[in-house]
Amino acid sequence: MRILLFEDEREMAAALIEALSRRDIIVDHVRTIADAELMARVGTYDVLVLDRRLPDGEGLDLIPVLRFQKITAPILMLTALGGVDHRVEGLDGGADDYLSKPFAIEELLARLRALQRRSPTVSAERFSLGNLTLDPRSNEVAVAGDFIDLARREYLVVETLIRRANRIVTRSMLVDAVYTIDDQIESNALDVHVSRIRRKLGSAGASVEIRAVRNIGYLLRVST
């Protein structure tokens, strides 16, 4: 599962990211409505977890904007505003679920799983190219049926490329998919990930290749 977390409180965000990551949930984190809108538009998520009070506005106001942009991932409001009126306002405002703080992490996980089961997003599909397959629900990548061990960011690179197989994926698109707003990114970090992925795919006998497109990005295609 991959979620986008909109949370401006650093300690809360860090605790959530740590707890969810231990359950093999990939978390992209943003702290403002502007960043949230951008990440929701360029990424593909199973669930969007949205706080109401954000530095640049009311999180609830973002929901119609996302829906207008055809972003269909279910939205879970996670906020300290837990009164009945607030919950009704959130659900009537377009949220698919509403959980008030403080909360138990197990309840949050159960709600995320329930929303994922109802999610209409493309991430429910399995992607294949040549003998390479990727399952977004389990975050597993296999070559000819044999799973290969990828680090988290390597997996995200492969996921982004295979979703756009045979098309050029720009470096900026890959960076947005692989790194969060908080990450410190070295200039060659993306190239290092791609190099490691190539070695792993080659060792596994993959029938696909990652081709560099000079000064633009990368392309995943069946080897020629």
Please give the average per-residue pLDDT across 119-145, as a whole number: 80
- CA-to-CA distance for 138 and 144, rounded, in angstroms? 17
User: What confidence category does residue 181 fall into, taking pLDDT thresholds of 50, 70 and 90?
Assistant: low
Helix and strand element counts for the chain (H, E): 8, 14
CATH of domain 125-222: 1.10.10.10
What percentage of residues in the chain have a pLDDT greater than 70?
A: 95
User: What confidence category does residue 110 fall into, taking pLDDT thresholds of 50, 70 and 90?
Assistant: very high
Segment (H or E) for 33: helix 33-42
Write out the residue limits of the CATH 1.10.10.10 domain(s) in the chain: 125-222
Q: Which residue has the higher pLDDT, 186 or 109?
A: 109
Write out the residue limits of the CATH 3.40.50.2300 domain(s) in the chain: 2-122
CATH of domain 2-122: 3.40.50.2300
Bridge partners (DSSP) of residue 213 are 217
Question: pTM, whole model, 2 decimals?
Answer: 0.60
Check residue 217 and give its pLDDT: 92
Name the pairing type of β-strands 146-147 and 132-135: unpaired
